[in-house]
Amino acid sequence: MTTKATEQLHKDAMGLDLLPVEAMGEVLVLGQIEAAGAVRSALPAICDGAKAMADSLRGNGRLFYVAAGSSGLMAAADAMELGGTFGIPESRIRILMAGGIPTTASMPGDTEDATDGLATALADLSDADTVLTLSASGTTPYPMEAARLAAQAGATVIGIANNPDTPLLNMADHAILLPTPAEVISGSTRMGAGTAQKIALNMLSTLMARHLGHIHDGMMVNMHADNIKLHGRARSIVCTITGADADTANDALRQTGGALKPAILIAAGAEGPAQAADLLSRSEGHLRPALRHLEARPKVK
């Protein structure tokens, strides 16, 4: 029987523990770099998956992140960042991790096989939703059952796995194969496979944000400044995009309660939050065309 790539012995495994610590560290870091490079071959599938995610959020759909073990931690990390980074409302994101999201250092392995609660957790799925399922092996029962239920409900399924021709990928509408090499520590998929999954998830959510108009010249423009650090970042973004001074940027952010896109438009000349909201509505949330509309307005003499 062929051993899965994620379970094979690494080419440098023999005598690994006998190497000087720095030499072993070199093997580890090179393994991570090689794993990261494996994501490139999945770029077309990642781009397609990102569009599906954006389509769900443009409509009435939600994003479901479903995984177990290390893959579940990667999925939860990406999902939890969507609000602070791109302003995606919490109500549009669901995280389902086998055994629940850990609150201690304990993460029992047997929960990967426990699929009993999934039918209830996914009972309200619809064809407007997108379900992201992750499994390094591509055979973990928990995300596989989620993919089956999602397909049954007509939801879009994104499958991410590190082994080819596996059930999870075969069930997915968008199959993202991350062909990472054997782990330096055999079977420890929190390492190379986890690194590749983290990169793929970052790409999916960032490209999704691009479709939604939440990125402008490499800046996150749909964030909400709700603490000192974010207010400073938002002020800097307003100044960078509009050329306004800090006082003007602060006033614009005050008028919008920290919402960045309308603050940018106010600093650029929009007459208050109502006009800024109207411009964004007409541009479907994209800042660039809204700014162009402001620039094209006849100048009052």
Catalytic residues, by residue number, are: 81, 112
**Rounded CA separation 121/266 (Å):** 42
Residues in the chain, overall count: 301
- Over its C-alpha atoms, the chain yields an Rg (Å, rounded) of 22
- The sign of the CA dihedral 36, 172, 169, 88 is positive
Record the tokens describing residue 148, joined without a space.
């089956």
Q: DSSP string spanning the chain?
A: -PPPGGGSPPTT-TTGGGS-HHHHHHHHHHHHHHHHHGGGGGHHHHHHHHHHHHHHHHTT--EEEEE-HHHHHHHHHHHHHHHHHH---GGGEEEEETT-S-SSS---GGGGG--TTHHHHTTT--TT-EEEEEESSS--HHHHHHHHHHHHHT-EEEEEESSSS-HHHHH-SEEEE------SSTT-TTTHHHHHHHHHHHHHHHHHHHHHT-EETTEE-S-B--SHHHHHHHHHHHHHHH---HHHHHHHHHHHTTBHHHHHHHHTT--SHHHHHHHHHHTTT-HHHHHHHHHHSPPP-
Token pair in block for residue 226: 């709700």
CA distances from 281 to 87, 170, 222 (A): 16, 39, 14
